[in-house]
Every structure is written in C-alpha cells, then in structure tokens.
Amino acid sequence: MAKNKDQWVWVVGGGHMQVPMIETIKKAGYKSIVTDINPQAPGSAIADQFVQISTYDVSAHLDLAESMTEKPVATVSAIADILGLPAAPYDVAVKARNKLAMRRTVGSSILFMEIDANGFSPHSQWKNLCRAGGIEPYPCVLKPLELSGSRGVIKVSSPWEWEGALKVARLAGNTRKRTMIVEQFLDAEFEVSLDFFVYNNDLHFANGAYRIFRGFGIEIGHVNPYTPTEEMLKLAWNAASKLEVSHGPFKVDFIVDKKLGPVIVECATRLSGGFDHMTTAPLATGKDITGAMLDVALGKPFDVKKITAKTDGFAAAIAVTHLRPGVVKDWKLPEIDDVSFIVLKNEIKRLEDCTDRAAFAIAKGTTPMGALARAYKAAKNVEVEYL
C-alpha cells in the first residue's frame, strides 16, 4: 500500500471554506488537488496541485476524473461515482440539495408548489393552493432549486411582485433551468443549522449552530454550539432515511416557526458552510469535525471521539456589515485577545445575499451572549482603506 504522501485527496473548491480541509489533508500526510474557477483562491496557494475548473461544472470534473492516471483516494459525490470512492451517490446528493425534490421525498408541514420560472405569474395557482390549505398566500417565498448562500431567494409580498421576483431569481442562478419552488412563508422564531455523519446505518450528531439574520434571508453570523431538540433529531433521521443518505456528511437547516415548530428548509450531503463546523465548533467545543470528515471521505472507520465535545465554551462569527461599498486597498483589523478575523474578498458590496459578506470576526466566550457581544464589537471596530 502506498504511503499517505503518495496518495491524493481531491477538494472541489479552493475558497476560505475549504482551507481548513486542505490543511487537514496536508497535516495527515496526503497530497491535495484543488479545483476552482479562481486561480487566486486561497486554497490554490496551499494545494499540491491546482486545476482551474468551476465548482459548478460537473462535466468538466468528470472529464478530469476519467483522464487521471493517478487516482485520488477521496473526493466528493459526482467524481466519487467515477472513481469508485466513498461518498454519497451522486443521485442522492442531487436529490438532497434540490429543494423541490427534497420536499417531495421527505414530506413537508408547509405548502409548496413547483413553478415555471419563465412562465406567467403563478398567483392564481398559488392562491388556490393556499385557500385549500387554509393559509394566506402572501407573503410567500420564491427559491431557485439548487443555489446556496440565499442567492435568488425572494420574499413575495403581493401578486404584483411576481414579475420582478422571478427576474431576480433567474439572474441569481444564471441558469436556463425553468423550474423553481414557491413555498409558505414561515414566521421564524429562530433558525439553526445541524451537521451529522451517517455511518453504519446510524445518524451521528456532529455540530449545531444558531443562525443570526438581518432582514429577510441575510445570515450575518452564528453562535456555536446549539443543542438540537429530540424533535429536530427525529426529523433529521427521517430526512436522511427517505433521501437514502446511507454514508457520509448530512446537513439539515431548520426554521423554528412560532406555530409549526421546527421545519426542515434545506438538506445537503455535505457539512454546513459559514465557518461553523470548521472554525467556531473547534474553538467552542474542541471537536475535530473536519478531521472526521476526512476520515469518512477516505473510507476509514468513523471516530466518534472526533465529534465529541472536549471543552464547554461558545464561539460566535459575525460579518462585518457597517462599511460602505467599495474596493478595499487595505483591511485594518484590530488586535483583540481571543478574537480573529477572516477576510473573504477585497470588495465590499451592499448585502443582497450571503455571498456578499466580505469579512467576519470570530470570538470566544463563556456564554452564547458573551461570545456574540465580543464578535459584534470586534466587527464594528474593523476599518478599511479604499482604493
């Protein structure tokens, strides 16, 4: 058997979110190959090999996989199918992340409907469905089927807003796919994101984060950890079972509605982003969730100790949101004990979706509110020099 240093692990995406995994791969002694459309992505600088391919270009990734003479020992679903590596089957991954397919497969306590994004206003059909279900049709929520980061998610407050909402959603996806989903608006009490691993027909809870929003759909941060209720765990297990997720990571996002309780709004055969499982979870609890993910990808036995809390603290991540839009020449980050900063991009934009967040402050605390207050204060103290 080849030694680790002679074996490759393939990471799709070279952004800041993937850096902890690339570093974990290298620490374990493996070589890393990273694919990303951006050759300046931070992951490309630390990868052993970089290939410029869009993370959304499945065909290009499959072509690259089939052309490899030296096969990697771990990667993600679509490529894993070609290479015969451990991962959720590609059709399972697609079904989980597709919001319409997920709701149809798992079932839902809220009303939803498929619509043609290029068709006429769905007002009449949606109004009739809501009348039969005994709820008000507006506001409702329009979503592209497979985008993340709240891209293209639009709150529709009246029948006259459909044309503009459909246009925004189509442009966000930059896709020719005609189908979208409209669903019942939830009166959120709060929102959480939960990470699991499916191993040996069991669902292992790895991490939970309490999500913090500003306005509709813009997540500006989170607090870690969050302990899920038994009802959430049962709903997550039901979702994994019906989606046929039999191995690997599984993410479930919940909105806790003031009347309906916890409602699953998104699933995926991956761990959550936003620096929760990879940054704030280790800070707060000492868990090595990224290491557990690498073990699973490599087909190694699942080590539950890696997702067991070793410390009893809290950590918060808060986006820097007070700065005016513009191109940044230099970030002026304050030096504060037990506070770190993650800069994602050198352009500050008006927050229209979660992908517009430019930087985060990460802070520890002995209580959730303590960690959150320190992160907020640190984020507010960030200054920049503009070009």
Fold that domain 4-85 belongs to in CATH: Rossmann fold (3.40.50)
Tokens of 29: 């002694």
User: For position 1, what pLDDT does the model report?
Assistant: 39
CA–CA gap between residue 170 and residue 172 (Å, rounded): 5
Q: How confident is the model at residue 374 (pLDDT cuts 50, 70, 90)?
A: very high
Q: What is the CATH number of domain 88-108+187-310?
A: 3.30.470.20
Which stretch of DSSP H or E encloses residue 137?
none
Helix boundaries (H) for 304-384: 368-380
Determine what percent of the chain is predicted with pLDDT higher than 90. 74
The whole-number average pLDDT for the span 204-233 is 95
3-state SS, residue 386: strand
User: What are the residue ranges spanned by the domains of the chain?
Assistant: 4-85, 88-108+187-310, 111-184, 313-387
Tokens of 383: 């200054």
More confident residue, 148 or 372: 372
Q: Report the number of secondary-structure helices (H) and strands (E) in the chain.
A: 12, 18
User: For position 158, what pLDDT does the model report?
Assistant: 96
| Structure confidence by residue, pLDDT tens digits, 222-231 | 999 999 999 9
Average pLDDT, the chain: 92
Name, in order, each residue with C-beta under 8 angstroms of 1's C-beta and a sequence gap of 6 or more. Answer: none
337-to-5, 179, 287 alpha-carbon distances in Å = 37, 49, 22
**CATH architecture assigned to 111-184:** 2-Layer Sandwich (3.30)
| Structure confidence by residue, pLDDT tens digits, 129-160 | 999 999 999 999 999 887 777 778 999 999 99
DSSP calls for 155-223: EE-SGGGHHHHHHHHHHHHT----EEEEEEPP-EEEEEEEEEEEETTEEEEEEEEEEEEETTTEEEEEE
More confident residue, 113 or 144: 113
| Structure confidence by residue, pLDDT tens digits, 337-363 | 889 999 999 999 999 888 899 999 999
Say what the pTM is: 0.91
> Residue type at 5?
K
The whole-number average pLDDT for the span 122-133 is 95
- Residue 263 predicted with pLDDT over 80: yes
User: For position 186, what pLDDT does the model report?
Assistant: 96
- Residue 304 predicted with pLDDT over 90: yes
CA–CA gap between residue 172 and residue 244 (Å, rounded): 30
Give bridge partners of residue 316 from the DSSP assignment: 223, 363
